[in-house]
Amino acid sequence: MWNNTFKVKVCVIMNKTVGFRYLKYILIGLALASLPIIQEMGLIGRGTVTIWAQIIFYAVVAIGLNVLLGYSGLVSLGTAGFMGLGAYVSGYLTEELAFPFLISLAISIIVPTIAGVLVGLVSLRVSGMYLAIATLAVAEILRQVFVQFSDFTGGFQGRRTDFPVLFGMDLSREATFTFLVVVLVILLILTDNFIHSPVGRALLTMRASEPAAQAMGINLLKYKLMAFALATAYAAIGGVLYAHFINFTTPQVWNLLLSLQILAVIVIGGMKTITGPVIGSIIVFGVPQLILVNLPVIGDINGLAFIFNGLLIIVVILFYPNGLVHIAHDFKRLFKRKKVVTSNE
């Protein structure tokens, strides 16, 4: 009798905890989805929604890479290449072959994921900086493919794409932005479930100690490939979202700098966190265009805002290495400590 009561209480607590986790993601989605309305009211600039769209699809990519780096301990510098592959496949299917958007989206995720798994079968035999160099080489190969196969990609002239068509409805820029938000929220929830599943726990064990994971019967190559496949799939989704919101893509976009920026997003936001990449994406891709360019002096000199943003990133890494996602908790703890000291006085 007591055991049954205890089990019921545990289930209730777990349901409330899961609900709270999901509520957090839904609130993020609602806040982002309100931006087009706020822009129409004239409370924010006309280009603000576009900047937030960039924050969203780079956050999507960073969430996947965080599973690979933060939860699995594997480094990849090929993120931009897989993003570009997803963008070009979707652009070609929708513009040249007139595929429905949802079908092209599925194919655009599957093709880079298969490519990522094939690359992983070879490159995941190594680790550390050797893995980073191997994935960087793959990204450079893909970038050259984007340049040379002009019939598929448009070469240096790029490929134009349109906003998505869903269920026969042509989405506007504002509706496409809402679609991006929905995708972000869905992926946040799916990633949360993935990390709290047995697979996620196996990845964390593997990251802590590979010999210990092997002793527990965890197949290292299998779980590394799963993490690599998930990161590649998220990169492909980010590429598709980029192509169909920006409506244009060129090989110059998918370079090493972009891969490093997404890596910085994870470090700044917080590794081994779900919402950390969203915060990091705001700092890396949003702060320069939303805040710094509007400041006196800094905003008046072309490029100076991005220099100051680089300095900001360095300061965050030096003084907040665990990521900004923990800053609210630390402020709350500091406030409680001061409150206790004041009451003792």
Residue 49 to residues 46, 87, 237, 265, 279, Cα–Cα distance (Å)? 7, 20, 19, 20, 17
Instruction: Look up the pTM and report it.
Output: 0.88
Residue 277 has pLDDT above 50, yes or no: yes
Among the listed ranges 146-155, 270-279, 295-304, which one has the minimum average pLDDT value? 295-304
Domains of the chain, start order: 25-274 (1.10.3470)
pLDDT tens per residue, range 87-136: 999 999 999 998 999 999 999 999 999 988 888 787 667 777 788 888 88
pLDDT band at 301 (very low <50, low <70, confident <90, very high): confident
For the segment 182-200, the average pLDDT, to the nearest whole number, is 93
Which is more confident, 240 or 42?
240
Angle at 201 between CA 214 and CA 330, to 5 degrees: 130
Residue 4 has pLDDT above 50, yes or no: no
* DSSP codes of every residue in 1-65: -HHHHHHHHHHHHHHHHHHHHHHHHHHHHHHHHTHHHHHHTTSS-TTHHHHHHHHHHHHHHHHHH
Q: Round the average pLDDT of the chain to a whole number and report it.
A: 85
pLDDT tens per residue, range 224-252: 888 889 999 999 999 999 999 999 999 99
Q: What pLDDT shows up at residue 11? A: 45
Q: Residue 280 region, left (φ>0) first, then alpha (ψ -120 to 50), else beta?
A: alpha
